[in-house]
Structure 1
Amino acid sequence: MHMPSVEPVWTDEVLDFAQGLASQARTIALRWFRHQPDIELKADDSPVTVADRGVEAFLRDEIARRYPNHGLLGEEFGMQAGDAEVLWSIDPIDGTRSFITGNPLWGCLLAVLHQQQPLIGIVDIPYMAERWVAVRGRGCWLNGERCRTSKTTDLAQAVLQSTSPDLFSDADLQAFEHLSKAVHLRRFGGDCYAYALLVSGYVDLVVETRLMPYDYLPLIPLIQEAGGVITDWQGQPLGLGSDGRVVAAANAVLHRQALARLTAQATGC
């Protein structure tokens, strides 16, 4: 997949604006957290609250006001001008199940894509006051400190994380279990926080399915700039049309081993 080599001249301006949006979104979401907002079920049986919709509506309005020519992709209100040169990806509350059960490990995800490629990624964890920010070619940072993935290259020593085994299909769960048997430790929960822990060197692998573009697009700059690798289960780059199966690893060596285990199970080898 082609990666634009020249950073747009507007990168700093948009980065500052995006960080300001993340701070305001944090305030809005925290007003609802642990205050038992009404819960509805969407068509896919996933929960949604007034907090999800309120945060995304705010972000879309602010972006459209500042950059009317930019496209928008969000979990709650869909795609607008998806063929624009600059596209914003919004997941207002990644981890709504955590949010509605009082678990603080939920976040707001923002990405800015230039020519369909993620340029800026932000993972903001409001309750923890932690924010991971990356710009392609500039590194990844947590609250101003540089992030690096772990140096673990042996699958037998790796820590594997995923949101929940309930989210896998039967076939995908078998592949995940095959990988799990080869690692040192596996943990569940965390949603976007699992990837943030990978970026900071505490987790070595994150494997999931059924993700949407707004779930993973903000993660791509973070993981790559911290030294990691993130692809689909076939090892292909993630994009707007990916199938939702994601493998994130601390480094290329570990990534190859994880893919081999998943592929071996999928092919019956």
Structure 2
Amino acid sequence: MSHHRAVSTGFAAHAAYAEYAAFAEAMADAVRPLSLGWFRRRLDIEAKADESPVTIADREVETALRARIMQTYPAHGIWGEEFGKTRPDAEFVWSVDPIDGTRSFITGHPLWGTLLALLRNGRPVLGVIDIPATGERWVGMQGDGGGARFNGAPCATSPVAALADATVYATSPDIFSETEFAAFGRVSAATRHRRYGGDCYAYGLLASGHVELVMEAGLQTYDYLALAPVIEAAGGIITDWDGQPLTLASQGRVLAAANPALHRQALALIGRVTV
């Protein structure tokens, strides 16, 4: 696809990362038909340990992604939602969430995605948010002068700098504990709009400047590792609720903002949330 070449040339400052970005996009292209082949079909639903539904598509997509990574970069590690960790101590490790938003997927809602991240020494340096049902894709790379890309074209976060003019997203009120939901309520009460739904799609909307904040809790590492390079390359900021960078050890509370001004205002309203 032509946008692969656009990504590679746009990321020319980091040739090795550009190669990985093109590879990640080629992987996303390859597994789109697998996930779409099961979308809006009746599935036998299993219950995972965290009660998140898992589908045949989840396993097929991750199996295909793992095979491509192991064939092309055998020294790289892999951290996947369905099949766990392979060589997690390698310098480069791929994080794979084959279907982020499984509940959306099995109910026919199109805003689920495939999340790919490349970590170098434990820090995400490349992220891909791919939305197969809509044909949309965001790519971001750490330190890239070309910024983030949406379907091969540059994208950037919103310039809105006041909470009163901002829109905040969360996937669902059910992801929060009582104290977490109170913190989300403090932030959302100060904004213009509060919206639910979207899973990883909301972070893509933030990277393209359509919404200003995403605030979530209870996320797993494979849920958020791909988001950070995209948001940061687009000009935004993404941290935990204490304002710390997201790492493998983060506790799953995520605050993404279009710019540092909004991020500071939201953090001040969140305060300290202990439970």
User: Following TM superposition, where does structure 1 have runs of at least 4 consecutive aligned residues deviating by more than 4 angstroms?
Assistant: none
Partner of 1:104: 110
Per-residue CA distance 1:87-123 (angstroms, 9 max, x = gap): 0000000000000000000000001111222111101
The one-letter code sitting in structure 2 at the alignment partner of 1:182 is: A
- Superposed displacement of residue 12, structure 1: 2.5
1:161 paired residue number: 169
What letter matches 2:69 in structure 1?
A: I
Q: Distance in 2 between matches of 1:213 and 1:232?
A: 12
Residue 72 of structure 1 corresponds to: 78
CA distance in 2, matches of 1:225, 1:10: 17
Report the alpha carbon displacement of residue 65 of structure 1 after superposing the two structures with TM.
1.4
Separation in 2 of the partners of 1:103 and 1:113? 30
Aligned partner of 1:262 in structure 2 is 270
**How far did 1:183 drift?**
0.8
Correspondence 1:213 to 2:236: no
Distance in 2, matches of 1:11 and 1:201, equals: 25
Matches within 5 A, 1:113-152: 113-138=119-144, 139-152=147-160
- SS of residue matched to 2:109: coil
Secondary structure of 1:152's counterpart equals coil
Structure 1 residue 39 displacement after superposition: 1.0
Q: What is the distance in 2 between the residues matched to 1:251 and 1:11?
A: 25
Q: Does 1:58 align with 2:64?
A: yes
**For residue 233 of structure 1, what is the amino acid of its counterpart?**
W
Letter matched to residue 128 of structure 1: T
| Distance in 1 (alpha carbons) for counterparts of 2:52 and 2:155 | 32
Encode CA deviations 1:12-45: one digit per residue, 9 max, x unaligned.
Answer: 3222211110001111100000112211110111
Distance in 2 (alpha carbons) for counterparts of 1:59 and 1:256:
37
Among residues 166, 169, 186, which one is paired with 1:178 in the alignment? 186
Q: What do residues 170-217 of structure 1 show as CA deviations (whole Å, max 9, x unaligned)?
A: 111111111111111100000000000000011100000011111111
Distance across 1 between alignment mates of 2:16 and 2:182: 45
Q: Which shifted more, 8-17 or 21-30? A: 8-17
* Pairwise CA distance, 1:70: 0.5
Residue 230 of structure 1 deviates from its aligned partner by: 0.1
The CA deviation at 1:8 is 6.3
Q: Which moved more, 1:91-100 or 1:131-140?
A: 131-140
**How many Å separate the matches in 2 of 1:45 and 1:219?**
23
* TM-score when normalising by structure 1: 0.94
What is the aligned partner in structure 2 of residue 249 from structure 1?
257
Equivalent position SS for 1:127 = coil
Residue of structure 1 aligned with 2:208, choices 200, 205, 212: 200
Matched, 1:240 2:265: no
In the alignment, structure 1 segments of 5+ residues that lack a partner are 1-6
3-state SS of paired residue (2:169): strand
CA deviations on 1:50-94 (whole Å, 9 max, x unpaired) are: 001110011011111111110111111111111100000000000
Q: Distance in 2 between matches of 1:250 and 1:38?
A: 39
Match of 2:194, SS state, is strand
The answer for the alignment partner of 1:229 in structure 2 is 237
Change (3 A) 1:115 1:8: farther
Q: Which residue number corresponds to residue 101 of structure 2?
A: 95
Query: Could you tell me the percent identity over the aligned residues?
Result: 55
Q: 1:141-191 deviations in whole A, cap 9, x for unaligned?
A: 011111110011111111000000011111111111111111111000000
Q: How many residues align?
A: 260
TM-score (norm 2): 0.92
Give RMSD over aligned pairs: 1.3
User: Residues of 2 paired with 1:118 and 1:166: CA distance?
Assistant: 28
